[in-house]
Structure 1
Amino acid sequence: MPPSHRRRRSVPLALGAAAVLLLATACAGGDDEPAPASPSPASPTRSSPSATAGGARITMKDFAFSPANLEVRPGGKIAVVNEDSAAHTVTATEGDAFDTGSIAGGKSGTFTAPTKAGEYAFVCTFHPNMTGTLIVR
C-alpha cells in the first residue's frame, strides 16, 4: 500500500480514538449516580396539600375537596384543580372572602386567600355537599 493511503486511514482512526478518549474522560470523575429527574413545568406535581413549591392547592375529585381543610398564609395564592368532569366552584360561605367562579371539568384556576387570619368555610355552589375550610394563619 502506498504511504499516502496509510496516512488517510490513520487520520479517521486517530479522530475516532480521540473522541472515545474525550467521552470517557468527560464521564469519569463524577459519581455514578444519575441526576434526579425534575418535573417538567407543565406537569402537575403531587405534594403536601398546604405547602408546595408553587403554593397551596385544592383538588376537586369525586365530588369532594382534597384537602377538606387547608392551612395557608394570609394573601397566599391557592391553585384549584378540577379532576371531575362536572364544573365546580370554591366559594366562601360567608361574605365575599373568595370565589373562584365556575371551573370546568378538567380545568384549573387560582384564588387569593384573605389577608385576615381566621377560618373560612367554603362550598361548591353547584354541589352544596362539597364543603371545606380554609385556615388562614
Structure 2
Amino acid sequence: MPFSFPTGTARLVAAGACALALTTQVGCSDGGGGGGDSATESATRSSTDGGTQVTIKNFKFQPASLAVSPGAKVTVVNKDSTTHTLTASKGGSFNTGNIAPGKSVTFTAPSKAGDFPYTCTIHPFMKGTLTVK
C-alpha cells in the first residue's frame, strides 16, 4: 500500500516533527563530567580570581570572548540538548573532550599570554576566543 503524504495543517505538523527529530539527533556522542552552576550570558567576561565559566546554550559559547589569567580554571557547562566540546583551534592548548547535555568539564587555561581561538569539534560553526593576559 503506498504512503500518502498529509496535506494542509497535517503536512506542516509532520514537517515540524521531522525537523525536530533531525535537530535532536545532531551530535549524539556521549561523555562529559560532573554537574555545574548557572552561568553569565554576557558577550565578554574577564576573570582574575582564578576561575570562570563558559556556558554552551543554543549552539553558542556564552560568552564567546573570555579573558582570564594564566593558569586560570575554566568550567564549561553544557546547557544544550546535544553533546559539545570546547577545543583550542591550534596547538592543542586545551580540549574538554565530549561534554554531554547537562554536564560540565573544567580545564586549565594556558600559562602563556595570548589569544586562543576555540571551536566545538562536533559543530565547527561554534567559535570563541580565550584571551590569556
Q: Report the equivalent of 2:47.
A: 51
What is the alpha-carbon distance in structure 1 between the residues aligned to residue 65 and residue 89 of structure 2?
Answer: 14
Identity %: 53
Q: Please, what TM-score do these two structures have when normalized by structure 2? A: 0.66
Contact 2:120–2:127 (CA under 8 A) maintained in structure 1: yes
Q: Report the equivalent of 2:6.
A: none
**Inter-CA distance 59–45: structure 2 relative to 1 (3 Å threshold):** closer
Gaps of 5+ in 1: 1-41
**Would you tell me which structure has more strand in proportion to its own residues?**
2
Q: Report the equivalent of 1:107.
A: 103
Worse-matched range after superposition: 120-129 or 43-52: 43-52
- Amino acid across the alignment from 1:101: G
Q: 1:132 aligns with which of 108, 128, 133?
A: 128
Contact 1:72–1:136 (CA under 8 A) maintained in structure 2: yes
SS in structure 2 at match of 1:103? coil
SS in structure 1 at match of 2:67? strand
The alpha-carbon deviation at position 95 of structure 1 amounts to 1.0
Gaps of 5+ in 2: 1-34
SS in structure 2 at match of 1:65? strand
Q: Which has the larger radius of gyration?
A: 1
**Inter-CA distance 106–98: structure 2 relative to 1 (3 Å threshold):** same
What is the alpha-carbon distance in structure 2 between the residues aligned to residue 103 and residue 45 of structure 1?
Answer: 16
**Inter-CA distance 46–91: structure 2 relative to 1 (3 Å threshold):** closer
Contact 2:71–2:111 (CA under 8 A) maintained in structure 1: yes
- Amino acid across the alignment from 1:134: L
**Would you tell me which structure has more helix in proportion to its own residues?**
1
SS in structure 2 at match of 1:119? strand
Supply the RMSD in Å over aligned alpha carbons.
2.2
Q: Please, what TM-score do these two structures have when normalized by structure 1? A: 0.64
